[in-house]
Structure 1
Amino acid sequence: MALHNKIGKLGEEIAVRYLKKEGYYIVERNYRNKFGEIDIIAAKKSCTVFVEVKSRSSENYLELAESLYQNQMHHIRRAAIYYFAEKNIHFNSIRFDLIALKIDPSARKIDKLKHFTNIID
């Protein structure tokens, strides 16, 4: 497995642990449909949260929020809408978040984590 894939997988594991610690229930991971993939679908209270995880090993990890291009956001939004239709769930409160991580792959630990909430209007 390529290093960037290992960093991505590790980042998702860390993000799941972080969300659980913050009181989120993990509904699904790596959900895919014809519109795209959603890394983590979580819930807290009556809100469904679609979480994109971006992991890097460089200091530029905060630029990850800007790395979600308009096209990616469109795919994430459409994938989320399809998710509700596929699962026959009526819309409740939804939110789109980004978790950006700076990871030290050799130590298999995170150096920094930033949780951006409500990244898509």
Structure 2
Amino acid sequence: MAPKDELGKQGEDLAAIYLEAKGMTILERNWRCRRGEIDIIAVDGQILVVVEVKTRSSRSHGTALESVNRAKLARLRMLAAKWLSAQSRSFGAVRIDVIALERFAGNFALRHIRGAI
């Protein structure tokens, strides 16, 4: 696995652990369809949470959080609707969260933005 891919997987693993520690239930990870991918799909009470995880080891291309723009959020909304259309279960609401991780000197700093849209 390429170092960039390994960093991304490590970030997604940490994000999943964090969400579970916050009481969320992970339904799926790395759900894909022909239009894209959702990193983590979780449930927070009655709320479906679609989570975009961004991990960076430097800020040479901006921060992890800055990499999630309006176009990415719009794509996540579309992907959430696609995922929901294939489910028999209903949810009280849908929320899109972003977890931004930055690794410096081997340590990760995590920032969780609830309801990023």
| TM-score relative to the length of structure 1 | 0.86
Partners of 1:17 and 1:61 in 2: CA distance? 26
Aligned to 1:49: 49
Aligned to 2:28: 28
Structure richer in helix, relative to its length: 1
Q: Does 1:92 align with 2:89?
A: no
The answer as to whether partners of 1:29 and 1:39 remain within 8 angstroms in 2 is yes
| TM-score relative to the length of structure 2 | 0.88
The answer as to whether partners of 2:7 and 2:55 remain within 8 angstroms in 1 is yes
Counterpart of 2:39, as a letter, is: D
The answer as to whether partners of 1:41 and 1:49 remain within 8 angstroms in 2 is yes
C-alpha distance after superposition, 1:1-55 (max 9, x if no partner): 2111110000000000000111110011001113210000011111110000000
Equivalenced residue count is 117
Counterpart of 1:7, as a letter, is: L
The answer as to whether partners of 2:46 and 2:91 remain within 8 angstroms in 1 is no
Partners of 1:61 and 1:102 in 2: CA distance? 12
Aligned to 1:117: 114
Counterpart of 1:112, as a letter, is: A
Partners of 1:19 and 1:7 in 2: CA distance? 18
SS in 1 for 2:23: coil
Cα separation, partners in 2 of 1:24 and 1:78, compared to 1, 3 Å: same
SS in 2 for 1:63: coil
Q: Post-superposition shift, 1:113?
A: 0.4
Aligned to 2:10: 10
Cα separation, partners in 2 of 1:78 and 1:61, compared to 1, 3 Å: same
Aligned to 1:83: 83
Cα separation, partners in 2 of 1:61 and 1:55, compared to 1, 3 Å: farther
RMSD: 2.1
The answer as to whether partners of 2:96 and 2:115 remain within 8 angstroms in 1 is yes
